[in-house]
């Protein structure tokens, strides 16, 4: 299969490229050439800019395109319109952030989508990101109806993650000792190893799958307590969790996601309990969590720039734990 990838050098994109190459496909990358320029030396690389610089794509033909770098509807529309006559299938990487109500558990692909107060905005913020992705999906579907797959991804984790959100917990558990964890321990969490998402995306492109699908993991229900205990066992760590109430964290200025990854306030709990049955019926599978944990630690240990960029500093964590103990007696440890 001849496969065009828009992007292809950062995190999910590089895993998609590697998966496609492993499966014997002929890959072409289109990007600005600003990151990962030394990756995949044998792959054809077309340089250009999505904003007015798509000329190198004109007149070319591919069996499929995977769009990993679409965030602005106007630019996604330009790409889809240009490629619609030369590409059989368009796979657009979207997000579960498209859903407007993130509180219910079991959100499926038919849930209500976000709308923007100003649909002409091109400013990407936490408030506009989901609504912009909705408009990007609509642009793809308008240009190539019944020939597109809309991959609504959950949190991606694993090697080469630039966000550090899962890496924070791997590094923290590896360091051991008492850790601050957001209560309750039975709160569900969801995420998927980017390599598993990538291999599924490539296979669905081969099969020309269509429609919108939620893509996250793991296959079974996972709680935050289970997640940390699995990390501890995989890393042979003596880390033990003190479970701290969310109201206390908010009171003390800790921000969900950036301040403490894998934690959301109650009105966002549904983002970690997404219905993925549609994708799982199409073969979506996740590797054991312990494998992702160990591979993430190996990557971090071998790359000095790969550490978590989010989360609590050790000093701030110690301060919060001391304040919490002053208010509440007792401690709940990570399940063994």
Q: Are residues 149 and 169 in the same domain?
A: no
Range name among 96-110, 143-157, 259-273 with the lowest pLDDT average = 259-273
- pLDDT for the residue 329: 62
Q: Are residues 56 and 113 in the same domain?
A: yes
- pLDDT for the residue 163: 93
Q: Are residues 180 and 94 in the same domain?
A: no
Q: What angle do CA 215, 206, 11 make, to 5 degrees?
A: 50
Task: Tell me if 104 is assigned to some domain.
Answer: yes
Query: Which range marks the domain in which residue 233 is found?
Result: 165-189+221-269+288-327
Q: Are residues 308 and 253 in the same domain?
A: yes
Q: What percent of the chain has pLDDT over 70?
A: 98
Task: Tell me if 206 is assigned to some domain.
Answer: no
Nearest CA to 156 among 105, 111, 199, 196? 196
Mean pLDDT throughout 273-282?
Answer: 97
Is pLDDT of 77 > 90? yes
Task: Tell me if 311 is assigned to some domain.
Answer: yes
Nearest CA to 8 among 325, 252, 131, 25? 25
Per residue in 171-182, pLDDT tens? 999 999 999 999
Nearest CA to 5 among 207, 201, 215? 201
Q: Element (H or E) spanning 66, and its range?
A: strand 62-67
Residue 267 neighbours by CB under 8 Å, 6+ apart: 102, 103
CATH value at residue 50: 3.40.50.720
Task: Tell me if 314 is assigned to some domain.
Answer: yes
Number of domains in the chain: 2
Q: Are residues 113 and 183 in the same domain?
A: no
Per residue in 290-304, pLDDT tens? 999 999 999 999 987
Q: Are residues 235 and 135 in the same domain?
A: no
Q: Are residues 293 and 321 in the same domain?
A: yes
Is pLDDT of 105 > 50? yes
Q: Are residues 172 and 129 in the same domain?
A: no
Q: Is 108 exposed, middle or buried (0-12, 13-18, 19+ CB in 10 A)?
A: middle
């Amino acid at each position: 299969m001849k496969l065009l990838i828009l992007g292809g050098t950062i995190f999910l994109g590089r895993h998609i490229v590697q998966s496609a190459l492993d499966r014997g496909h002929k890959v072409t990358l289109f990007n600005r050439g600003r990151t990962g320029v030394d990756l995949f030396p044998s792959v054809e690389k077309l340089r250009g800019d999505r904003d007015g610089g798509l000329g190198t794509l004109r007149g070319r033909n591919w069996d499929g395109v995977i769009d990993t770098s679409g965030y602005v509807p106007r630019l996604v529309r330009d790409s889809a319109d240009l490629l619609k006559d030369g590409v059989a299938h368009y796979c657009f990487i979207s997000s579960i952030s498209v859903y407007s109500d993130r509180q219910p558990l079991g959100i499926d692909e038919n849930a209500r989508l976000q709308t923007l107060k100003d649909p002409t905005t091109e400013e990407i913020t936490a408030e506009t990101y989901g609504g912009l992705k909705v408009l990007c999906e609509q642009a793809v579907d308008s240009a190539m109806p019944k020939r597109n797959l809309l991959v609504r991804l959950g949190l991606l984790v694993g090697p080469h993650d630039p966000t550090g959100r899962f890496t924070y917990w791997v590094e923290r558990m590896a360091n051991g000792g008492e850790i601050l964890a957001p209560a309750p321990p039975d709160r569900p969490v969801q995420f998927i190893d980017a390599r598993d998402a990538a291999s599924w995306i490539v296979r669905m492109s081969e099969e020309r799958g269509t429609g919108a699908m939620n893509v996250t993991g793991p296959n079974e229900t996972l709680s935050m307590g289970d997640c940390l205990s699995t990390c501890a066992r995989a890393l042979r760590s003596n880390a033990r969790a003190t479970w701290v109430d969310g109201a206390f964290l908010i009171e003390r200025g800790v921000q969900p996601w950036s301040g403490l990854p894998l934690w959301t306030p109650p009105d966002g709990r549904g983002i970690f309990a997404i219905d993925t049955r549609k994708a799982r019926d199409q073969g979506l599978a996740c590797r054991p969590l312990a494998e992702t944990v160990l591979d993430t630690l190996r990557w971090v240990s071998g790359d000095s720039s790969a550490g978590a960029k989010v989360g609590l500093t050790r000093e701030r964590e110690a301060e919060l734990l001391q304040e919490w103990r002053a208010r509440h007696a007792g401690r709940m440890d990570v399940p063994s």
